[in-house]
């Protein structure tokens, strides 16, 4: 059966709801989410299946002005997602008027995705005041040279189905490329590391979320149990102390929450062992970024 098939890039500033939107559409946790900017650190592929469509979404890190090698890799990942796609969905916080960074991204799309149609997803409509709707919609439509838009609230799912219908209408006919059970191309190892990092993001504040990363050092499957050894990288000993907590309480809480979700992902019992390691200035290390798969 012929279907609507295509690759769709989710582009936008940090913390506008791209990953929440992707997870909602796919029906699985493909990207970790938090209220911290720059939660997504590399391009993530999520696959949505319907009776007459297959949409391959490319979730991307929020575009920002980078100050580290990690930040540059994140922006490069967003830019590289513009190749070979059939549609750009620009996700914005619809409760705000477009700013300077939105203008920079619009220019990036003109240069990197010339001729690719843009569909606006003005998210967080629950925060959008009625008197600002016409002004904000008009401003984004003019900036991205499109009249195609949908107001959504990804956290509750409001209008997300309508957005998917608009996406499907704009895709060409073709043959599906993935098995109906596939929902991402990420490895179980990477997803497990990300779930640990998500729990850290939820549990910590200030500089710790941006300064931490998770590396899988060991992975062993035996007799219905998966044994995972992971290192949490931080840049300073003070951050290490925060993550361990008094009597190891913080690290234990993070490990317990992550283990429970990893078990759901893998469908097996999990033994998760976490260690916190200080790697000064790891965000500027090409070697460590490669080990962490942030240059993928």
Distance, in Å, from the CA atom of 234 to the CA atom of 31, rounded to the nearest integer, reads 21
Average pLDDT over residues 187-209: 94
* Residue among 268, 218, 275 at smallest CA distance from 252: 275
Structure-block tokens of residue 124: 């967080």
Structure-block tokens of residue 269: 């019992």
Average pLDDT over residues 33-60: 95
Q: Which residues pair with 272 in a beta bridge?
A: 228
Distance, in Å, from the CA atom of 240 to the CA atom of 232, rounded to the nearest integer, reads 9
Q: What is the pLDDT of residue 148?
A: 97
Distance, in Å, from the CA atom of 69 to the CA atom of 290, rounded to the nearest integer, reads 11
- Asked: is 3-174 a CATH 3.40.50.300 domain? The reply is yes
User: Where does CATH 3.30.300.20 sit in the chain?
Assistant: 188-291
**Architecture per CATH, 188-291:** 2-Layer Sandwich (3.30)
Q: What is the pLDDT of residue 37?
A: 87
Task: Check pLDDT > 90 for residue 127.
Answer: yes
* Residue among 32, 146, 9 at smallest CA distance from 82: 9
Q: What is the pLDDT of residue 1?
A: 60
User: Where does CATH 3.40.50.300 sit in the chain?
Assistant: 3-174
Distance, in Å, from the CA atom of 133 to the CA atom of 125, rounded to the nearest integer, reads 9
Task: Give the chain's mean pLDDT.
Answer: 95
Task: Check pLDDT > 80 for residue 296.
Answer: no
Average pLDDT over residues 122-127: 96
Task: Check pLDDT > 90 for residue 149.
Answer: yes
Contacts of 282 (CB under 8 A, 6+ apart): 213, 233, 235, 288, 289
Q: What is the pLDDT of residue 85?
A: 97
Average pLDDT over residues 129-140: 96
Q: What distances in angstroms separate CA 9 from CA 116, 200, 222, one per listed residue? A: 10, 27, 38
| Burial of 205 (C-beta count, 10 Å sphere; 0-12/13-18/19+) | exposed
Q: Which residue stretches of 155-276 are H helix?
A: 160-169, 188-203, 208-211, 237-244, 249-266
* 41 contacts 20 by C-beta, under 8 angstroms: no
Q: What is the pLDDT of residue 206?
A: 83
Q: What is the pLDDT of residue 209?
A: 92
Q: What is the pLDDT of residue 196?
A: 98
């Amino acid at each position: 059966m012929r279907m609507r098939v295509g690759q769709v890039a989710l582009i936008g500033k940090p913390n506008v709801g791209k990953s929440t939107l992707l997870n909602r559409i796919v029906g699985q946790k493909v990207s970790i989410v938090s209220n911290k900017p720059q939660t997504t650190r590399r391009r993530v592929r999520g696959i949505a299946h319907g009776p007459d469509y297959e949409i391959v979404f490319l979730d991307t890190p929020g575009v920002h002005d980078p100050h580290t090698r990690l930040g540059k890799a994140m922006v490069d990942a967003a830019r590289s997602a513009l190749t070979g796609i059939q549609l750009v969905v620009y996700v914005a916080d619809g409760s705000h008027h477009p700013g300077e960074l939105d203008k920079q991204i619009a220019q990036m799309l003109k240069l990197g995705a010339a001729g690719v149609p843009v569909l606006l997803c003005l998210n967080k409509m629950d925060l959008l005041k009625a008197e600002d709707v016409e002004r904000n919609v008009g401003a984004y439509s003019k900036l991205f040279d499109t009249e195609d838009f949908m107001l959504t609230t990804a956290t509750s799912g409001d209008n997300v189905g309508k957005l998917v219908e608009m996406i499907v209408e704009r895709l060409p006919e073709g043959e599906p490329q993935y098995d109906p059970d596939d929902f991402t191309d990420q490895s179980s190892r990477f997803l497990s590391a990300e779930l640990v990092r998500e729990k850290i993001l939820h549990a910590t504040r200030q500089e710790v979320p941006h300064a931490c990363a998770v590396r899988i050092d060991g992975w062993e499957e035996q007799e219905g149990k998966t044994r995972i050894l992971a290192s949490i990288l931080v840049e300073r000993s003070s951050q290490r102390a925060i993550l361990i907590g008094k009597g190891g309480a913080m690290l234990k809480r993070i490990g317990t929450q992550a283990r429970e979700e990893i078990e759901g992902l893998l469908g097996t019992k999990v033994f998760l062992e976490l260690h916190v390691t200080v790697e000064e200035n790891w965000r500027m290390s090409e070697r460590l970024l490669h080990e962490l798969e942030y240059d993928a």
